[in-house]
Chain A
Amino acid sequence: MKEMIQFTLNGIPVTLDAEPDRPLLWVLRGDLNLTGTKYGCGIGLCGACAVLVDGVAERSCLLDISSIANKTVTTIEGLAGGEELHPLQQAFVEHDALQCGYCTPGMIITAAGLLKEKPAASEAEIIAGLDGNLCRCGAHKRILQAVRSVSSSKKT
């Protein structure tokens, strides 16, 4: 049974007429053509599908769209909010913190959620915060450096 579900997506109010139990991941990638949010495992173990829900990083493969009603969702496409890159995006570019790039949106979104909660996250907190995000190319060292450079606890 379809329902009207309203939420804010990348700063824009959206109303969906859809079955409330549809996974947010496939609604984003299919109906809304926001393909920056990636499928990787489907059970919340890899982090490629991370989006911000009211500023908190969540796994969109595990979220029904009913759970985001009246909330604010930010995907990688809306993180910067303009032509200028978000500081984390800029840091990933400057640190060459990616290879194939497939896990990158999820890494950046997860880090954004972490730094919103803990703007001065330490190295240990960043490691703990990103440990559920998988990267197969082995860009971990640079991802940590990139996130660390944006954390206000960074060494100067």
Chain B
Amino acid sequence: MFEDDLIEAPVTFNRRSFLKRVGGGVVVLFTTQPVFSLAQAAALQPVEPAFNAYLRIADDGRVTCFTGKIEMGQGIITSLPQMLADELDVSVDMIDMVMGDTDRCPFDQGTWGSLTTRVFGPELRAAGAQARSVLIDLASEQLGLPREQLAVSNGVVFERANQGRQVSYSALTSDRTIVREVKTSDPLKTAQDYKVMGTALKRRDSREKVTGKAQYAADIRLPGMLHARLLRPPAHDAKLQSLEISAAEAIEGVQVVQDGDLVAVLHENREVADRAIALLKTTYSRPGTQLDERTIYDHLLSRAPEGDPVASGGDLSEGERLAVEVFEETYLNAYVAHAPIEPHAALASFEDGKMTVWASTQSPFGLKRQLVSALGLAEDKVRVITPFVGGGFGGKGSSSQGLQAARLAKIAGRPVQVFWTREDEFFWDTYRPAAIVKIRSGLTQAGAPAFWDYRVYFAGARGSEQPYDIPHHKTVAHSRRWTGPPGTHPFATGAWRAPAANTNAFAREQHIDIMAAYAGVDPLEFRLKNCSDAKYIGVLKAAAEKFGWTPAKGPSGRGVGVACGIDADTVVATMAEVEVDKSSGRIKVKRVVCAQDMGLVVNPAGATIQMEGCITMGLGYALSEELHFRGGEILDLNFDSYDLPLFSTLPEIETILIDSADPAPHGGGEPAIITMGAVIANAVFDAIGVRLFELPLTPQRVKAVLA
């Protein structure tokens, strides 16, 4: 039935060259559709061939999974092999991952939006099922038995009635190449057949990471490479007027490069480049913009684009008529930085007309596209390789450092490494936007929500819809994305872990609490009474049980709070206990309990770690993280003034993964962060009886509302 070297699927030229790099065995190609990209990469449209990722089973039986996705801590290096192992019936240890290499992996938009498991995952599983089916056909031929009489375990196909009659995958794949495209006809396994999915597996990359062997982009070394330091303007709106380079160039071995807007010093030693960059004498002109973190909100409202309806139902004026009490509030949140501990890094090498860039990026193919277009190189003359990424959180989507390194390498004629300083990282970040939410709502005589009029400005539409049973409601986004039209923000903004959803949950869940408190109803009970979504009810009840929630009208003085929401199709409910020191204004979060319904949980250990990470990171935007600026000048450039969560700010954290009725996998890297601002704000209200409407909830703001 199958001939050696049979290629059945229509093969494009690109696919052929692609396959040359793969080798023999069983190869499965599959396609994925782009869902959405980061705003910075929004212009990207896939022009690559439609085939999109694949796997290969080599003649030693080992499986290689090639994916354009990257590993930045979120743990897909462990969970993707789990999915493949189950569909292929192989041990997870037999699977090797090749990630984020544009020459070896097929096109991928980028690693963001909690899309890997829920969108890429099913495609990968289908490829696994297809490969397994091919192997069963081969075994059927070799053993002379019909498919129906065969079963597979651990990479061995055997006769159900006589397990002694068997043949291994490695024996079946040796010396042949078989290529298949994914069909939908081979059914995926269902939950009762999962052996690896649903099992808690420890990270596969730990050993490399605890021994220092794991390589990040700045760890790659090439002979003759130079280290670059980039000239950073004093402000985003500053224009370079003069540049005097002689003092820097006087240092032995220093090369100063000026290429349009890009000014850099190069040297074999990083610290000499550090010294030389300080010797550049510059003058800048700056416009007189004086926006700062206090005046930004009025500015933003004055620039607000037309509202874009997100959701609506009923009739707001009818709702107003039904309401006996109306609640109107404005919620604000500050710009925050991504601040991954690994600053952006890239090493570029231009050799024999081919540009190779090792980059810390969430979008290797997006960077490749930038390089092709900016350098005028052919597609096959640009390769981006993504080693381990030291945290991204949405901030490594545009990867301008990769282009900087490539431009410098071309000019210098030697490999060049760009490794942003911490100050560069803060300055050139694409911050979570400052944003405003205005909510007007009403309660009926019976204490039920009558209407909900919700407007979000500049945060984005994600997570703005409300999940409650409110008869008359309207949700409008003034800018659906997190970038805003040009001239809106004094610097670049972008996606920040669960973009928009953090801002929207902070506003919505406080506003719900305000109505519950007025109605004299416990905030958990108010939510359960006014929500009929089974997942919401499930996570709220699960969190309440673990937390030991006892009903009370707020403010109860106990300092407990609840908030819930949905992100990446995963529903979360979070409860927190806080203590507020009224004299210092300091909020101590003592305990956080979070329950999450994410459908199928591929790796419960990995999912739990992501929840803990979301909760811990969320403490930052809730309590301390806030970017200070004067016009385009960024005042927070290092960790002396920008406060990340610390070990000493860590609460007791408990997480619950709901044993879900939903068989589909949903997002895991972002959902649990969305409730952190709201749950802490609600707990603070419960403690001190006063609400805070602006994130972060700094001691100064707490003291201000108590004064």
* Closest chain A residue, CB of each to CB of B78: A96
Whether B9 sits at the interface, judged by CB under 8 Å, is no
For residue A32, give the distance in angstroms from its CB to the closest CB of chain B: 11
> Shortest distance in angstroms between A17's beta carbon and chain B's nearest beta carbon?
14
Interface centre among A38, A96, A130, A134 (most CB of B within 10 A): A96
Per-residue CB proximity of A81-104 to B under 8 Å, as 1/0? 000010001001110101111111
Residue from the list B268, B271, B645 in contact with A138, Cβ < 8 A? B645
B73 within 8 A of A: yes
- Centre residue among A30, A76, A135, A137 by max chain B CB count within 10 A: A137
A27-55 interface bits toward B, Cβ cutoff 8 Å, 1 = contact, 0 = none: 00111011111111111011010000000
Report B253-294 CB contacts with A as 1/0, cut-off 8 Å. 000000000000000111100000000000000000000000
Q: How far is the CB of A94 from chain B (nearest CB, A)?
A: 7
Residue of B205, B210, B393, B638 most packed against chain A (CB within 10 A): B210
Query: Which label, helix, strand, loop or mixed, suits the secondary structure of the B interface?
Result: loop
In the complex formed, the residue of A with least CB distance to B619 is: A138
Within 8 Å by CB of A41, from B203, B214, B422, lies B422
**Interchain CA distance A23-B203 in the complex, whole Å:** 34
Question: Would you mind naming 23 contact pairs between A and B with Cβ atoms under 8 Å apart?
Answer: A30-B268, A35-B216, A39-B419, A40-B342, A40-B343, A41-B422, A76-B212, A85-B211, A93-B203, A96-B605, A98-B209, A98-B210, A99-B609, A100-B390, A101-B214, A101-B388, A104-B210, A128-B648, A131-B646, A136-B617, A138-B613, A142-B609, A144-B647
B218 at the interface (CB under 8 A from A): yes
Total interface residues on A, using CB and 8 Å?
56
How many angstroms from the CA of A34 to the CA of B215 in the assembled complex? Answer: 11
Whether the Cβ atoms of A134 and B613 lie closer than 8 Å is: no
A151 CB–B CB distance under 8 Å:
no
Residues of chain A at the chain B interface (Cβ within 8 Å)? 22-23, 26, 29-31, 33-43, 45-46, 48, 75-77, 80, 85, 89, 92-94, 96, 98-105, 108, 126-128, 130-131, 133-144
For the complex, is B616 an interface residue (Cβ under 8 Å from A)?
Answer: yes
Q: Quote the shortest CB–CB distance from B648 to chain A (angstroms).
A: 5
Q: With A138-B614, A139-B613 given, is the CB distance from A102 to B75 under 8 Å?
A: no
Q: Is the CB of A138 within 8 A of B342?
A: no
Which residues on A sit within 8 Å (CB–CB) of B270? 26, 29-30
Contacts of A89 in B (CB 8 A): 210-211
- The contact size tier of chain B is 35 or more
Q: Tell me, in angstroms, the Cα distance from A124 to B519 when the chains sit together.
A: 42
With both beta carbons as reference points, the residue of chain A lying nearest to B202 in the complex is identified as A96
Q: Does B639 contact A (CB under 8 A)?
A: yes
Name B's A-contacting residues (CB within 8 A).
72-75, 202-203, 205-216, 218-219, 221, 227, 268-271, 339-343, 388-391, 393, 419, 421-422, 605, 609, 612-617, 638-640, 644-648, 650, 653
Residues of A within 8 A of B208 (CB): 101
Number of A-B contacts (CB under 8 A): 172
With CB as the reference atom, state the residue of chain B lying closest to A128.
Answer: B648
- CB <8 Å contact, B614 and A36: no
Considering the complex, give the chain A residue whose CB is closest to the CB of B342: A102
Name the B residues within 8 Å of A80 (CB-CB): 211
- With A48-B341, A77-B211, A139-B613 as contacts: A43 and B389 at CB distance below 8 Å: no
Q: In the complex, what distance in Å separates the CA atom of A105 from the CA atom of B388?
A: 14
What are the 10 A-B residue pairs with the smallest beta carbon separation, nearest first? A36-B212, A138-B616, A102-B390, A100-B73, A101-B209, A99-B73, A138-B613, A76-B212, A35-B219, A89-B210
- Contact partner of A100 (CB less than 8 A), chosen from B219, B342, B605, is B342
- With a cutoff of 8 Å between Cβ atoms, the chain A residues found around residue B219 in the complex are 29, 35
Residues of B within 8 Å of A108, CB to CB, are 210
| Closest partner residue, chain A, to B610 (CB atom) | A99
**How far apart sit A77 and B208, CA to CA, in the bound complex (Å)?**
10
Given known pairs A75-B212, A76-B212, A93-B206, the reply for A101 and B639 (CB within 8 Å) is: no
Choose one: A30, A96, A144; the contact of B650 (CB below 8 Å). A144
CB < 8 Å neighbour of B205 from A31, A33, A101:
A101
Q: Are B212 and A37 in contact (CB under 8 A)?
A: yes
Interface contact B340-A100, CB-CB below 8 Å: yes
Chain A, Cβ-Cβ closest to B206: A93
Q: Given A30-B269, A39-B419, A136-B617, A98 and B203 touching (CB < 8 A)?
A: yes
Residues on B with beta carbons closer than 8 Å to the beta carbon of A94: 202
> Could you tell me if A41 and B615 are in contact, using CB atoms closer than 8 angstroms?
no
- Return chain A residues, CB-CB under 8 Å to B639: 41, 45-46, 134
* Cα(A45)–Cα(B421), bound, Å: 13
Shortest Cβ distance from B277 into chain A, in angstroms? 13
Which of B72, B206, B421, B647 interacts with A42 by CB under 8 Å?
B421
Q: Is the CB of A76 within 8 A of B221?
A: no
Q: How far is the CB of B433 from chain A (nearest CB, A)?
A: 20
Are B212 and A105 in contact, CB atoms less than 8 angstroms apart? yes
**Chain B residues whose C-beta falls within 8 Å of the C-beta of A135 in the assembled complex:** 341
* Chain B residue contacts of A43, Cβ below 8 A: 422, 638, 640
Residues of chain B within 8 A of A40, CB atoms compared: 341-343, 422
Docked-complex contact A136 and B650, CB < 8 angstroms = no
The residue on B at minimum CB distance from A126 is: B647
Q: Is the CB of B210 within 8 A of A99?
A: no
CA distance A139 to B615 in the complex (A): 10
In the complex formed, the residue of A with least CB distance to B72 is A100
With A and B bound together, what is the CA distance between A91 and B215 in angstroms?
21
Note all chain A residues with C-beta closer than 8 A to B422.
40-43, 46
Task: Report B74 CB to chain A, min CB distance, Å.
Answer: 7
